[in-house]
Amino acid sequence: MKRIVTLCVLVVLGFCWLAFANRPVAAPYAWNLPPGFPEPTVPANNPMSAVKVQLGRHLFFDPRLSLTRMISCADCHQQKFAFSDPRILSVGATGQFTRRNSMTLTNTAYNASYDWANPNVTTLEHQMLTPLFGEDPIEMGLSGRREIVMAELAADPLYQRLFPAAFRRDDDPINWVNSMRAIASFSRTIISGDAPYDKYVRGDAEAMTESAIRGFELFLSEKLECFHCHGGFNFTDASTHERDREPPSVFHNTGLYNIDGLGAYPPGNEGLFSLSGKPGDMGRFKAPTLRNIALTAPYMHDGSIATLDGVIDHYQRGGRLVENGDLAGDGMLNPVKSEFVNGFELSAEERADLLAFLNALTDEDLANNPDLSNPRPELSGKEEIHDPR
Amino acid sequence: MIRTTSNRVLPEAAARSALACIAASLLACAPGGGHSIGLEFAAKYQGHTPTCTSPMADDLEMTDLRFFVSDVEVGNGSNWSAASGQRVHLLDFENGEGSCTNGTPAMHSEIALNLPKADVSALRFTLGVPFDLNHGDPLLAEPPLDEPAMFWHWRSGHKFLRVGVKNRGTRWHAHLGSVGCLGPIAAIESCERPNRRTITLTGFTPGDTIVINLDVLLADINTRDDASAHCLSEADNPACKQLGRNLGIDFSTGTSAGETSVFSLAPN
């Protein structure tokens, strides 16, 4: 009997050895998250690793990923503007304008969906198809050039080293899907949680001014209703994370337009309606994070409000009045408008307090973090390179 | 696909011939003991074959022409049988040169057609990608569904047809595909308007070429003065309404409507 038990134990141990001995036990990725931040959701087929993040960082800043080899992801997602674009609309490789303002990549790992209003796109890996390959408008302009670009990257000694290190199990790791996975992994490290507001809530009473603290209270008040759409650790109701059981799918019409009196938004910028075709989805866009909001002007999906002061004007009125031109109409009367955009009274002092609070969401570390900066600025010299086509 | 009809252990000779048949099927062996031929597609405009480097007409150039064809069947008009081992085919008439920007060098105008022994007098196919293949994960897509130019990222599917022209320097294009598709990518639940069209061609003789008639496809669409009105399969877009009439698709419902002569047969 004793011998049988021993045999059983040996057999079990043997199986365990077989199961684990030859597998490198991947150390969990060290996120280095701000205190209290949950782990972001990561697609099972693209686990995080430090070397993949490094590879993605190089690709993110590499202008060879555009038709003209003149622009990289970083042109429309500039670090000093919290990875957003100070231009109202961004300009693609061929000079075409985007339809909407480039979103900040602040805490993009936590987005429940990507783009301004596309609930179908739930991963960064998929979102990237649009800027890389989209043609209407052309952004990076890689449609039809996938092989040319990959051949060029494959000839770069740095990538010959980084791709195999990041994708060890792949026989042929230098490919466009892995490129997108690496860029997604890098983008997930653009995490911001060290603003004066964060220091304040962690116990540093001096981190926010009295004015900003009053502004925080206003922000949380039922009078202003800001927090309904801009709530949670990431100041948006469109965030999710690893422990979230049901990622949100929420989009709001804030009464920016009302062209026909029935709620219409400008053609081509109709929010969720463009995808779903449902009248009730007209003008419904995602609430972006308010983290680093002072760095990400201009505002709204179309960059149509230049300053935070202007944004407060819009919400204070309960919708924007466009008096003249093709887009004329009173957004306040938009029938699809969110129930939380009803306007409010705001004194000059309260306005200053609210602005002080919004400014206290700026994380200077993000805008200056060397780990998120261009690792090869020499590639962005903007010199005209021979086009092999 | 080859099917051995029995579960019994085959005698060695039969097994050998089955193997031979499988090998031969790569070239010619087809279900029902028929054979395989090439089915050629051709683009025509006013009797000519437009290319990226030969204009369709004065001041009218082709900038793109690619489309998916699926579920090809042959028959006699009442009985049909699957005629292709592959469910979806990409037909590609641009090579990225001349007026065709954003194109790819490869072209593709022929698909393998399996003919049964029975008489064949008709052919039908779907212009588009079947629902169950249209909404897979684009990052894991296999050919021919892995071509980025045919992804329709923002609508979470594939473009079924993309056609473009340059009319006196002004560019116009149309993208046909399913719209109103909702659900996470790779798990789309349904589409409001599928926008697929079944094309049935009677009087088909094996060896015939399938012609896509650009005259018909582009008929009465103002591609010159109103270039901003590209058609992206919208219900309320004037260019789409006309394209829908030409293709036999009602973009307001996403279903077939009326006849279409966009595709026709040309004898060998």
Mean pLDDT (whole number) for A194-210 = 97
pLDDT confidence band for A77 (50 / 70 / 90): very high
User: Residue A9: which pLDDT band, with cuts at 50, 70 and 90?
Assistant: low
- pLDDT at site A388: 41
The pLDDT of residue A28: 86
pLDDT of residue B102: 76
Residue A3 binned pLDDT confidence (cut-offs 50, 70, 90):
low
Alpha carbon dihedral A376, A380, A383, A388, in 10-degree steps, equals 80
Q: Which of A141, A159, A154 is nearest to A69 (CA)?
A: A141
- Residue B29 is predicted with a pLDDT of 46
Average pLDDT over residues A195-224: 97
Q: Average pLDDT of A308-313?
A: 98
**How many residues appear in chain B?**
268
Q: Under a CB-based contact definition with an 8 Å cutoff, are residues A46 and A177 in contact?
A: no
Q: How far is B155 from chain A (nearest CA, A)?
A: 6
Do β-strands B209-213 and B35-44 pair in parallel, antiparallel, or remain unpaired?
Answer: parallel
Res A355 pLDDT > 90: yes
The pLDDT mean for chain B works out to: 87
| Chain B interface with A: residues with Cβ < 8 Å | 96, 101-104, 137-140, 148-149, 151, 153-156, 173, 179-185, 188, 192-193, 230, 232, 235
| ipTM of this complex prediction, to 2 decimal places | 0.79
Q: What is the structure's pLDDT at A387?
A: 42
Beta-carbon contacts of B262 under 8 Å, excluding residues fewer than 6 positions away, are B199, B212, B213, B216, B217, B246, B247, B248
Count of CB pairs separated by less than 8 Å, A with B = 74
Write down the H helix ranges in chain B. 12-25, 131-134, 214-217, 238-247
**What's the pLDDT band for B226 if we cut at 50, 70, 90?**
low
The average pLDDT across B173-181 equals: 96
Q: Which amino acid is at A389?
A: R
Q: Does residue A1 or residue A204 have the better pLDDT?
A: A204
Residue B77 clears pLDDT 90, i.e. is over it: no
Angle at B30 between CA B27 and CA B35, to 5 degrees: 70
**pLDDT at residue A389 tops 50:** no
**Please, which pLDDT band fits residue A248 given cuts at 50, 70 and 90?**
confident
Given CB atoms, is A122 within the 8 Å cutoff of chain B? yes
Query: Residue A113's closest chain B neighbor by CA?
Result: B184
3-state helix, strand, coil in chain B (%, to 5): 15, 35, 45
> Please, what is the average pLDDT of chain A?
92
Q: In A, which residues are within 8 Å of B183 by CB distance? A: 120
Tell me if B186 sits within 8 A of B136, measured CB to CB: yes
pLDDT at B222: 87
pLDDT of residue A27: 74
Nearest CB among B153, B180, B182 relative to A129 is that of B153
Report the pLDDT value the prediction gives residue B113, as an integer from 0 to 100: 94
Q: List the single residue in A130, A177, A181 with the smallest CB-CB distance to B154.
A: A130
pLDDT exceeds cutoff 90 at A7:
no
Better pLDDT: A129 or B77: A129
Nearest to B182 among A120, A129, A143 (CB): A120
Residues in chain A: 389
Segment B207-221 shows an average pLDDT of 96
Mean pLDDT of B218-223: 91
Lowest mean pLDDT among A241-250, B108-117, B142-151, B254-263: A241-250
pLDDT band at A6 (very low <50, low <70, confident <90, very high): low
Average pLDDT over residues B75-89: 93
C-alpha distances in Å from residue A72, one per residue of A58, A76, A100, A132, A381: 10, 8, 18, 10, 12
pLDDT for the residue B227:
53
DSSP string, A238-277: TB--TT-SS-----B--SS--TTSS-PPPTT--BHHHHH-
| Alpha-carbon torsion angle B228, B234, B238, B239, nearest 10 | 60
Residue of B97, B135, B154 to mutate, testing the A interface (most A Cβ within 10 Å of its Cβ) = B154
Q: Which two tokens stand for residue A26?
A: 């991947």
Residue A2 confidence (pLDDT): 58
pLDDT in tens, B182-213: 999 999 999 999 999 999 999 999 999 999 99
Query: Residue A298: what pLDDT?
Result: 98
Q: What is the pLDDT of residue A83?
A: 98
Note whether A136 contacts B: Cβ–Cβ < 8 A.
Answer: yes
**pLDDT of B5 higher than 60:** no
Q: How far is B28 from chain A, CA to nearest CA, in Å?
A: 32
pLDDT above 60: residue B246:
yes
The reply to whether omega before A86 is within 30° of 0 (cis) is: no
Task: Give the closest residue to A374 by CA, choosing from A385, A382, A386.
Answer: A382
In chain B, what's the furthest Cα-to-Cα distance? 71
pLDDT over threshold 80, residue A25: no
**Residue of A120, A175, A260 to mutate, testing the B interface (most B Cβ within 10 Å of its Cβ):** A120
Average pLDDT over residues A84-102: 97
Q: Is the pLDDT of residue A29 over 60?
A: yes
Among the partner residues A118, A143, A177, nearest to B102 by beta-carbon distance = A143
| Backbone φ/ψ region at A111: left (φ over 0), alpha (ψ -120 to 50), beta | beta
Which residues on chain A are in Cβ contact (under 8 Å) with B193?
277
Cβ within 8 Å, pair A122-B138? no
Region A262-270 average pLDDT: 95
User: Is A205 exposed, middle or buried (CB count within 10 Å of its CB: 0-12, 13-18, 19+)?
Assistant: exposed
Residue B164, pLDDT > 60, answer: yes
Q: Give the pLDDT mean for A348-362.
A: 98
Task: Give the pTM.
Answer: 0.85
pLDDT higher than 90, residue B85: no
CA A362 to chain centre: 16
Q: Cα(A156)–Cα(A150) distance, rounded to whole angstroms?
A: 10
What is A288-343 written as a DSSP string?
A: ---TTGGGS-SBSTT--B-SHHHHHHHHHHTS-EE-SSTT-EEGGG-TT--TT---
- Beta carbons of B138 and A144 less than 8 Å apart: no
Residues of A in Cβ contact (< 8 Å) with B154: 115, 118, 130, 134, 274-275
CA A354 – CA A253 distance, rounded (Å): 22
Higher per-residue confidence, B3 vs A150: A150
Confidence of residue B122 (pLDDT cuts 50, 70, 90): very high
